[in-house]
Amino acid sequence: MESAQFVSSAPGRVNLLGEHVDYNGGAVLPMAIDRYVRIEARLQEGGKICIEARDLGRIVEFSVGSLAEKVDTKGRNLPSWALYPAGVAWALVQHGLEVQGIQAVFNSSVPVGAGLSSSAAVEVAFGSLWQAMAGFSLPPLELAKICQLAENKYVGVNCGLMDQFASACGVAGSAVWFDTRTHESKPVKLPGNTVIIVADTGVRRGLAGSAYNDRRASCEEALRHFQGFLPGIESLREVTPADFEKYSTGLGEIPLKRSRYIVLECARMDKALEVLSRQDAAEFGSLMKETHIGLRDDYEVSCPELDAMAEIAWVQPGCYGSRLTGAGFGGCTVSLVQREKAQQFEASLKEGYLGRTGKNAEVYICEAVGGAHAGRV
């Protein structure tokens, strides 16, 4: 954009372990990756917000005063892609923070609908932009919470906090352990001489229109069941595998399967910290594989292409573990691979996936990066 006054950038993320537990009180292990949403913007008077999504070839204009109505300046419903920046503006206003009129252009190297949190990156990038423009300063975690509020209450997706947290609070060179119940976090080094490789199946899903909210409702149903036996628990994270075996009788088939996955995934996350503290790549990779199987069989959020990608990865030289990442129903796998085998792994994965599905895969060797930032040009 010519005459841009501000720039903002926020990374996507890949989650290494702890899938779907963020809205069940569990701990997660995301990593901000070197794929970004980038915005160039300048101030505009009158509270008008004009945003061009360059990758989509779309432009929308709405005003700060009409945020609650979710309509553009001509009274038409906002397009779905515009709900994310508009929702952030709305959430900032709800917190008593200033949102200024802007002209903005954004583009993204985070694949949309691939499970790498493109929507959270858009939210955090716009939140960072408005913060820089108005001059207020929120801790990154607080900005992440505001962006989560936008997605929950404005967009209508009952996501947990992990995606926005990872985009706002990423740490260069490390994954980040994040306790979604206490909001504690700490950087975690991955085993030496390994790389993280993300493989995109090319299958896309719309998160709001997917079965995501159904999974969350099943977990809430299971929690109410276990609370009848374990008074005082507030999340499925507090149900141990032993508790599950003892008290799960009487649960319907669907909440039984959903909650079994969550309980075992929370236990895997507890084990993962100990495994990574001794830099055990093979055992961490085994945990990743167990997660994929649970997501496939109990949580039922995989698809044939994700299964094919993971299964091809499991038998490649130098691959410690691989699984689907993100909400599922399409998108990407994430693999932990020996650094010296990374190029061979990439080529073999592409070849195997094409042979099995007839589809081409995009494969990215990813670096861990820091969180969002914004400022004057």
Catalogue the active-site residues: 163
Q: Which residues of 178-215 are buried (b: 16+ CB within 10 A; e: fewer)?
A: bbbeeeebeebebbeebbbbbbbbbbebebbebbbeeb
Per the listing, tokens 């909001």 go with 183
- With contact defined as beta carbons under 8 Å apart, do 247 and 161 qualify? no
State CA 176 to chain mean position distance: 13
CA dihedral 220, 294, 265, 372 (to 10 degrees): -90
Tell me the one-letter amino acid at 115. G
User: In angstroms, what CA-CA distances link 183 with 26, 166, 263?
Assistant: 10, 12, 19
| No. of helices (H) and no. of strands (E), the chain | 10, 13
The rounded distance, in Å, linking the Cα atoms of 304 and 314 is: 15
